[in-house]
């Protein structure tokens, strides 16, 4: 198989297009207002008034966009915060479960070691008793 996963062994170039943001919109509004003013036959006072209205509309549009972005950003932050809090709580629960399991395993290991020691001590005592009986039996026979 070739390096490329295509039949013609040629790489393909993917061009991603991004939608324009608030800056593009504002630039379009300003350009449209400027062109409209240049081609409209008006007096200086009318042109200045129209420029002032266009500036106010642009300012209001910009404020609305900023408010929308701030609201959206606030919602996104709150959603992310909630998701992180859920993950942290889930992780805390998992850590607590593992801590409990480890504690139980340690306790079981200690109990098994204690029981093994008791069993070993019993065997040692039995072996000592058998050795003592064997020695006393051989002394009595001699």
Q: Which two tokens stand for residue 19?
A: 């939608």
At 47, is the secondary structure helix, strand, or coil? Answer: helix
Residue 6 lies in a domain: no
What pLDDT, on the 0 to 100 scale, is given for residue 1? 47
Rg (CA), the chain: 43
* pTM of model > 0.85: no
Residue 133 lies in a domain: yes
What pLDDT, on the 0 to 100 scale, is given for residue 32? 82
pLDDT tens-place string over residues 15-46? 656 666 677 777 787 788 777 767 777 677 88
Residue 3 lies in a domain: no
Domain range for 129 is: 22-141
Residue 58 lies in a domain: yes
Residue 73 lies in a domain: yes
Residue 71 lies in a domain: yes
What pLDDT, on the 0 to 100 scale, is given for residue 47? 76
Segment 51-76 shows an average pLDDT of 87
Total count of domains within the chain: 1
């Amino acid at each position: 198989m070739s390096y490329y996963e295509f039949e013609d062994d040629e790489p393909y170039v993917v061009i991603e297009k991004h939608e324009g943001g608030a800056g593009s919109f504002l630039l379009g509004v300003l350009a449209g207002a400027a062109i409209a003013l240049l081609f409209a036959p008006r007096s200086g006072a009318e042109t200045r008034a129209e420029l002032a209205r266009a500036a106010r509309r642009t300012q209001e549009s910009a404020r609305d966009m900023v408010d929308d972005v701030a609201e959206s950003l606030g919602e996104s932050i709150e959603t992310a915060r909630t998701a992180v809090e859920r993950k942290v709580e889930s992780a805390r629960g998992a850590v607590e479960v593992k801590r409990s399991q480890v504690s139980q395993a340690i306790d079981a290991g200690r109990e098994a070691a204690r029981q093994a020691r008791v069993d070993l001590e019993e065997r040692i005592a039995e072996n000592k008793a058998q050795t003592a009986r064997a020695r006393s039996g051989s002394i009595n026979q001699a």
